[in-house]
Amino acid sequence: MKLFIPKIGTRLVLKSDWKFKLHDERRNENFWHSLHGEPAKKIYYYGYSYYGYSGGYHTSPTPTATAKDQGKGPADPIDTVVPKGTVLFVESFHIQKGHIPSIALRIKKGNPTKISTGKFTADIEDINQMEVDSEFVEKYPHGCFTIRVGTGVDREAYKCKCHQWPCACGFPPYTDHTISWEADPDASRHNRRRAGVVHRTDTAGLDETKPGGFSYYSRQSDYTKHFDNIQECLLWAGKKCFTKSHIDAFVKAYEPERLAWEQSKA
C-alpha cells in the first residue's frame, strides 16, 4: 500500500462508484440542494439543567423545552453515490485538532457522468474508500489573474466611528477597480510573487491609480473574477469599464514580475 495525498488541483477520475455521507453544512448546501433537494432538518430543543441551558438535537422536546427554545438544526448525513467515471478536482483540505479531517472536492460543468456540479466536502474516512486514477492539473499554470470591483469608505482616512456597512457617517464612498496577478496562488502569502494596480475614485473627486489592491487587502468586493491567462483577464477588464491607462499600468507592473518568476522556476 502506498500513501497518496493529492495536491490541491489534482484531477481524480473514479474507477468505481463511490459512496459517502454528505453532511448538512454550509459548504455543502448548494451541492446537497442540487442533488437531493431541501434537507429535512432536525428540531433543536434546549433543556435546562442545574448548570444552565444545555442543548441537543432531538426528535421530541425535552421536558423543560418551550416553543421559543426550539430551532432548526442540521439534517442527518445522507448517503450519496458518485458514479464511476466522474471527474473530481481537489479544492482544499480541512484539518484541525478535535475535528474529523475532510477534503473539499469540485465537480465541474461538462462532467461525463452528468451528475450535479458544485463544490462539497467529504470526511477523510470516506475519501480513503475512493478508487481513482489521478493526475495533477495545475489550476493556474501562468499564475492567477484577478479583476475586482469594490466599494467602501476609507475608514482610516476619515476616522469612521460608526463601524456600520454601509457607513452611516456620511463620508464619500470610494470605488476600486483592481487588476492583480499572483504566481503560485496556493502558496503561503510570504512566498507569492505578485503584481497589482488599483484605480480608486470617490464622490469627493479622488481619482488615482496606484500599485497594490491584492485580495487580502480588500475591505469589500462587489465583483470578483479569476483567470488563468492575461489575455482573457484584460479582455474582461475592458468589458467591466477598466480604463486603458489602468490596463497599461498593470501590464507594465506585471511583466518584470512574470520574468523573475519564470527565471526562478528554470
Res. 217: pLDDT tops 70: no
How many percent of the chain have pLDDT more than 90? 33
Of 112, 13, 32, the C-alpha closest to 80 is 32
**Mean pLDDT highest for which of 131-145, 151-165, 208-222?**
131-145
Of 85, 86, 89, 92, the C-alpha closest to 135 is 89
The label of the residue with cell 478508487 reads 131
Q: At 48, is the pLDDT very low, low, confident or very high (cuts 50, 70, 90)?
A: very low
- Which of left, alpha, beta for 212 (phi over 0: left; psi -120 to 50: alpha)? left
> In 10 A of CB 55, how many CB atoms?
15
Instruction: Tell me the mean pLDDT in the region 100-122.
Output: 90
pLDDT of residue 147: 93
Q: At 57, is the pLDDT very low, low, confident or very high (cuts 50, 70, 90)?
A: very low
pLDDT of residue 59: 45
Instruction: Tell me the mean pLDDT in the region 19-43.
Output: 85
User: CA 27, CA 34: separation in Å to the nearest integer?
Assistant: 13
Res. 243: pLDDT tops 50: yes
Partner residues linked to 11 by β-bridges: 89, 135
Res. 4: pLDDT tops 70: yes
* 49 compared with 129, residue with greater pLDDT: 129
Instruction: Tell me the mean pLDDT in the region 185-196.
Output: 72
CB 167 within 8 A of CB 173: yes
User: CA 6, CA 8: separation in Å to the nearest integer?
Assistant: 7
Distances (CA, A) of 116 to 35, 120, 136, 195: 6, 11, 23, 36
How many percent of the chain have pLDDT more than 70? 75
Res. 170: pLDDT tops 80: no
CB 58 within 8 A of CB 114: no
Q: List, in sequence order, the alpha helices (H) in the chain.
A: 29-36, 124-127, 155-158, 230-239, 244-265
CB 224 within 8 A of CB 148: yes
Res. 177: pLDDT tops 70: yes
Helices then strands, counting H and E runs in the chain, come out as 5, 15
CB 226 within 8 A of CB 145: yes
pLDDT of residue 58: 47
pLDDT of residue 86: 93
CB 181 within 8 A of CB 145: yes
Q: At 163, is the pLDDT very low, low, confident or very high (cuts 50, 70, 90)?
A: low
Of 103, 131, 108, the C-alpha closest to 27 is 103
Q: At 166, is the pLDDT very low, low, confident or very high (cuts 50, 70, 90)?
A: low
Query: What's the whole-model pTM score?
Result: 0.57
User: CA 241, CA 9: separation in Å to the nearest integer?
Assistant: 32
Strands 144-152, 132-136: parallel, antiparallel or unpaired by DSSP?
unpaired
Res. 61: pLDDT tops 50: no
pLDDT of residue 95: 83
Coil, helix or strand at residue 131:
coil
Q: Is 154 exposed, middle or buried (0-12, 13-18, 19+ CB in 10 A)?
A: middle
